[in-house]
Amino acid sequence: MMKKEAYMKNKINSDTLPEHFYLDILENLFLCVFVNDESGRTTYTNPAMIRHYGVMPHYLINTYPEWGFWEGIVFPPAYKQLMKEKRTVFYNQLNLITNNCNTTINTPVMKNDSSNRVEFMVQIIQEDFLKKDLSINSDSRKELSNLQTDLIGKNHFFCALIKDLEKIADSDMPILLLGESGTGKTYIAEYIHNYSYRQDKPFRSINCGAIPSNLLESELFGYTSGSFTGANTKGKKGLFELAEGGTLFLDEIGDLPIDLQVKILHVLEDGKFMPIGSTVPIHSNVRIITATNKDLKKCIAIKTFREDLYWRINAFCTVIPPLRKRQEDIIPLAQYYLDKQNRKYQTKKVFYPQTLVILAMYHWPGNIRELKNAIERIYILTGGNIIFENHIPKEVYHFNIKDKKYYYTYNEIIKQAEKVIIMAAYTLHGTINGVAQALNISQGRAYRMIKQYGN
């Protein structure tokens, strides 16, 4: 009986507490709280969200978790499953600004009738302060080199491709990587090497299109003393010998001269090669990985690439997708390259959310190489700690203006500015009259603008 009386007493006290008491609790809560209506529109968020989005709470009021400040920042949006299942759902969400994995608890509040409809939903975001590794190889069985963290991806096709390469990494099967320039074929080749039993042996690589043909043979096979005029008197070891027991990556093999294609084929078939000027063959135990951005079948048709070599290096062939087909990977990669610059120069620069949106919308014809160069350029040109839209290279920024006119028209920019000013004044003063006085406009105009931008 005494327990019941104590409960009723506490209930009466809670009923008599002023409304601002509950609001003060929400406003000072460390956990991030979002309230969304049944369409997903944000109707309330507390100041704790600044840690996640880098903007004031009023920026997110009346936005939807589909684009704008949301897209590419926290993924996936948690409200859709809740609306479908109408139950509390738990999400592990990835914050692409901080690289933290957060636990989101999304709870439905049902309408007080028989409709079984959601009136609104409450999301609570709990940060996991143990920073997660975004790279696809976070659960690898081996310790990989720093280069391999460039293999960041959430794209389903890309992740499936890497998993297939992991399965065959321990074999000696030759691998042919196809794809546009700048898609990260060198990183993938080194990843395969580090995932194989050859990981403790050398990894060597050469771009077959970047070295003159008269020098390429000596680079690959080496030479003996006095082999030709200007040769090193002590001779030189070639990459096949330097990579003994490990992996040799032949990039842009489609540019390899025909005469050297024959010698490469002999090494693959016989397991031995002859340095220039030597009469004694050297046995070779190397794993061959090749790559090209050319169509080798067309090269075979015009007699610039040997068909027998093609089938020898094509035991396993895969196509590395261009970055424009891995759009969900653009922001994690941009954040990764920014983090590298921050670590290098001991700074703490961050992207403004809308900057990430623009980066994600660009088609990146130069693929990962272009993105990496752009982020390094943005970092150098940004004086403060926040990277705003105006720091983005013109070719990227202008592409978005051209293709996203609905967002960047003059009228839209004016409306965005009006909304920021009106809602900031309303948040500060709390009344129509306060807004009117602060902005020196009529109460009628203040009322109309608050109604326009607050609903």
Q: What digits encode the pLDDT tens for the residues 147-178? A: 444 577 777 788 889 889 999 999 999 999 99
Per-residue confidence (pLDDT) for residue 312, from 0 to 100 = 96
**Would you say 379 and 349 are in contact if contact means Cβ atoms under 8 Å apart?**
yes
Closest CA relative to residue 98, chosen from 336, 449, 310: 336
Lowest model confidence (mean pLDDT) among 85-89, 90-94, 272-276, 420-424:
90-94
**Would you say 59 and 69 are in contact if contact means Cβ atoms under 8 Å apart?**
yes
Q: Is the dihedral of CA 94, 96, 99, 104 positive or negative?
A: negative
Strand ranges across the sheet with 316-319: 203-207, 247-251, 287-292, 175-178, 316-319
Residue 396 predicted with pLDDT over 70 = yes
**Would you say 125 and 91 are in contact if contact means Cβ atoms under 8 Å apart?**
no
Residue 250 predicted with pLDDT over 80 = yes
Per-residue confidence (pLDDT) for residue 54, from 0 to 100 = 60
pTM for the complete prediction? 0.60
Residue 412 predicted with pLDDT over 90 = no
Rounded mean pLDDT of 32-56? 77
pLDDT, tens digit (0-9, with 9 covering 90-100), for 91-137: 666 655 555 667 778 888 888 888 888 888 888 877 654 433 333 33
**CA separation for the pair 193, 316 (Å, rounded):** 15
Count of C-beta atoms within a 10 Å radius of residue 93: 20
Per-residue confidence (pLDDT) for residue 86, from 0 to 100 = 80
Residue 229 predicted with pLDDT over 80 = no
